[in-house]
Amino acid sequence: MVARAQDRSFRSLSGLERTASTSRVLNLAAVANQNAGDPEYEAAPFFKASSLNGAVIIKHRLRADEQYIFEQAKRISTKVIIPFERTDLGLGGRSLFVGQRGWQELLYQLRGDQDEEARDIALLEALDELPSLDPFLLREHLKRRDFRIANCYFAISPADLDRMQRFVSGEISKLVELAYGRSSSGANANISKLVSLLLSGQDDTRLEPLRLTLGLEGENFREGIFSWKGFLYYKWVLNSLWPELRDVIAELTEIKVVGPRDNELLNQVKDVGARVNQAILGQVRKVRVTLQVYDDAFAELTQAGNPMAFRNFLLKSPEMFITLGERTGMVSHIASFWRYRFPKGRPLKVELDELFDILQDFHTGLGDDEDKAKAENALVDTTSSETLGRALI
């Protein structure tokens, strides 16, 4: 019997051709194809080396057999893939991980261009500092590192920016009253001013009342403000993301398997699917718990008049922000990948082994070690998508 050929382009490099920025992927090849000839793109490229400026950057969850190439164990690494041909990613490419042993020597070989090599290395290290490649946070992080990069690399729609601005305005209105004083004529103007300053990513003396209210100095203030912005961003993302995750969970129970069936593999798919549902809920619960730490500290500041609680939160927030970003990125990847693979309005049909691969990939990306997973499963009942929905509403 001849083995059945399968089209897995959605899982290969070629499947990224139409994708620009997501929480896990920054596709510079796609940006290059879409913006060739644009003056801003030409004047402020992401990387200075043309080979890197057509790369695909991925936040990659390291497997056990990949840990040996690093000096210290880590969960997430930044993978750089330089395609053989940026207009046809299906041809594959060469890759390295930022921070692996000898990575700068490998980069030197792949980069080709020697001009401004230090700048490109510093930029890759800055990317590696972030837990995900969410366009908003990526843009703000690189601004803080003084990298001048064209806006076309950060695929944030004006509508999303407007929605986030409104969300942040609602979140911080009480803080504005505390830091800047309340006046019936100027309250809205103060809120709008502070939101614009926070989202601008620029140091500004007009934030001085806020700094004094929080009792922070220098780098602690800057790092705390950035992480606070990250918390607000991820809170907004989770509010927007949950309906999409709920659709994924529902569609997992509705999807139709077509083609050859194997009962043993079918049982494995059911088992992994249940584990994926459990893991999604587990990660979302962890994100909510972390965000609640922020909400409690912020309430202490704005309702109880205790700035020390929020100050202490901001001092600890950079470390918490990394974990929050990893967990939010995990579930965001699932929602975006599932919708990419199964667009709305098209039949929910898939071959059994392909579905198994997708679910295995989700489970690997979501899962912690087995002991932690068992502990979470003991707390969470996810016997149906309805149960999942009730738990998070």
Evaluate if residue 121 carries a pLDDT over 90: yes
Q: What is the pLDDT of residue 60?
A: 84
Give the mean pLDDT of 19-29.
73
In this prediction the pTM is: 0.69
Per the CB < 8 A criterion, the answer to whether 22 and 157 are in contact is no
How many CA atoms, within 13 angstroms, populate the side-chain half-sphere of residue 299? 6
Can you tell me the distance from the alpha carbon of 132 to that of 53, in angstroms, rounded to the nearest whole number? 19
Evaluate if residue 88 carries a pLDDT over 70: no
Instruction: Locate 336 and state its tokens.
Output: 């975006």
Give the mean pLDDT of 337-354.
90
Can you tell me the distance from the alpha carbon of 27 to that of 21, in angstroms, rounded to the nearest whole number? 6
More confident residue, 169 or 282: 282
Give the mean pLDDT of 257-262.
89
Q: What is the pLDDT of residue 27?
A: 87
Can you tell me the distance from the alpha carbon of 143 to that of 117, in angstroms, rounded to the nearest whole number? 19
DSSP classification of residue 58: E
Evaluate if residue 98 carries a pLDDT over 90: yes
More confident residue, 85 or 107: 107
Per the CB < 8 A criterion, the answer to whether 333 and 24 are in contact is yes
**CB neighbours of residue 189 within 10 Å:** 12
Can you tell me the distance from the alpha carbon of 137 to that of 112, in angstroms, rounded to the nearest whole number? 29
Find residue 78's DSSP bridge partners.
59
Weakest mean pLDDT among 76-90, 105-119, 143-157, 209-223: 76-90
Q: List all residues 6 or more positions away from 322 whose beta carbon is below 8 Å from its beta carbon.
A: 131
Evaluate if residue 358 carries a pLDDT over 80: yes
Q: What is the pLDDT of residue 190?
A: 64
Weakest mean pLDDT among 138-147, 219-228, 241-250: 219-228
**CB neighbours of residue 107 within 10 Å:** 20
Q: What is the pLDDT of residue 377?
A: 39
The gap between the terminal CA atoms of the chain, to the nearest Å, is: 50
Q: What is the pLDDT of residue 186?
A: 55
Show the beta-strand stretches assigned E in the chain.
25-27, 56-61, 76-83, 93-97, 256-258, 349-351
Residue 21: pLDDT band (50, 70, 90) is low
Positive or negative, the Cα torsion across 343, 348, 354, 358?
positive
Q: What is the dihedral of CA 179, 130, 25, 196, to 10 degrees?
A: 20
Can you tell me the distance from the alpha carbon of 145 to that of 328, in angstroms, rounded to the nearest whole number? 23
Residue 59's identity, in one-letter code, is K
Return the SS3 of 106.
helix
Per domain, the residue ranges of the chain are 9-153, 158-212, 215-392
Evaluate if residue 101 carries a pLDDT over 50: yes
Q: List all residues 6 or more positions away from 170 whose beta carbon is below 8 Å from its beta carbon.
A: none
Strongest mean pLDDT among 5-19, 56-70, 190-204, 283-297: 283-297
Return the SS3 of 351.
strand
Weakest mean pLDDT among 97-111, 143-157, 193-207, 307-321: 193-207
**CB neighbours of residue 187 within 10 Å:** 15
Q: What is the pLDDT of residue 149?
A: 92
Residue 379's identity, in one-letter code, is L
DSSP secondary structure letters along 245-291:
HHHHHHHHHHPEEES---HHHHHHHHHHHHHHHHHHHHHHHHHHHHH
How many CA atoms, within 13 angstroms, populate the side-chain half-sphere of residue 21? 16
Return the SS3 of 154.
coil
Residue 381: pLDDT band (50, 70, 90) is very low
Residue 352: pLDDT band (50, 70, 90) is very high
Average per-residue pLDDT in the chain?
78
Which of 258, 286, 252 lies closest to 270 in space, CA to CA? 252
Instruction: Locate 231 and state its tokens.
Output: 């918390």
Q: Which residue has the tokens 């290059």?
A: 32
